[in-house]
Amino acid sequence: MNALVQQDWQSFLDEVTASESKHYLWLRSLSYLEYIGYRKMVKALGYDNVNKGVYHHLTDEIQHSYMLRELAEKNFGRQKAESFSQEYQDIAEDYFQKIDGEIDAWVQRTSGAENPLYCYLLTSFIVEKRAMSVYPHYYSRLSEAPSKVIIQKIIKDESEHLSYLEGKMPLVPGFNEGQADALLAFESACFSEYLRRMQACFHRACAA
Ligand SMILES: [Fe+2]
Ligand SMILES: [Fe+2]
């Protein structure tokens, strides 16, 4: 993570962990991001692609989505459900969509045709790298046992996904370290934009 994104991210964590309503929205956003990841995988992967690694990856992501939503509701109450408005969903969708679009274009340039399997591998690899930074930092801010246990379980799963995907990267034609850096830098910019829009949304809600 570059220094500026790191700074934005730490101040974002300061803000969400200091407020119950923002913390609730952050957990719902994470839950929604996990759901989008799951949905994109289901769309991208054909029946023939479903092997043991894919099966574990799919079931883990939908479980993460459910567990994070449960955590939000148990810790901060179901009455806040309506505060997770369409705008928050749009921010999460846009984050994923931009990365997906960039990777889809890269795969088409490199392979000469669309390839949903390569897109799945590459997008997941890039997003898992982010997950393995986001969840451990968030975990370090938590003090209570139920939340820590859940986030720790997610970290264990994400680290397994990342290892699985790292092993698959040689299957993607044209992918090398330089390409990885360029795509990670692109994702970093998308993540900054995600944080900025989330904060703008929090502040608008508070001002209302
Ligand atoms: Fe996940
Ligand atoms: Fe994952």
Ligand nearest to the CA of 158: 2
Residue 159 CA to ligand 1 center (angstroms) comes to: 10
26-73 tens-digit pLDDT: 999 999 999 999 999 999 999 999 999 999 999 999 999 999 999 999
Q: How sure is the predictor about 199, in pLDDT bands with cuts at 50, 70 and 90?
A: very high
Q: Which residue has the tokens 């046992």?
A: 145
**CB of 175 closer than 8 Å to CB of 123:** no
pLDDT at 2: 72
Ligand 1 centre and the CA of 56: distance in Å? 11
Q: So what's the pLDDT on residue 82?
A: 85
- Tell me the ligand closest to 154's alpha carbon: 1
Ligand with the closest atom to the CA of 66: 1
Helix (H, G, I), strand (E, B) or coil at 64: helix
Distance 29 CA to ligand 2 centre (A): 15
> What confidence tens digit (pLDDT) does each residue in 100-155 have?
999 999 999 999 999 999 999 999 999 999 999 999 999 999 988 789 999 999 99
How many whole angstroms separate alpha carbon 170 and alpha carbon 79? 47
Give the residue, 65 or 1, on which the prediction is more confident.
65
Distance from the CA of 28 to the center of ligand 1, in angstroms? 13
Listing DSSP states for 2-61 in one string gives -HHHHHHHHHHHHHHHT-HHHHHHHHHHHHHHHHHHHHHHHHH--GGG--HHHHHHHHHH
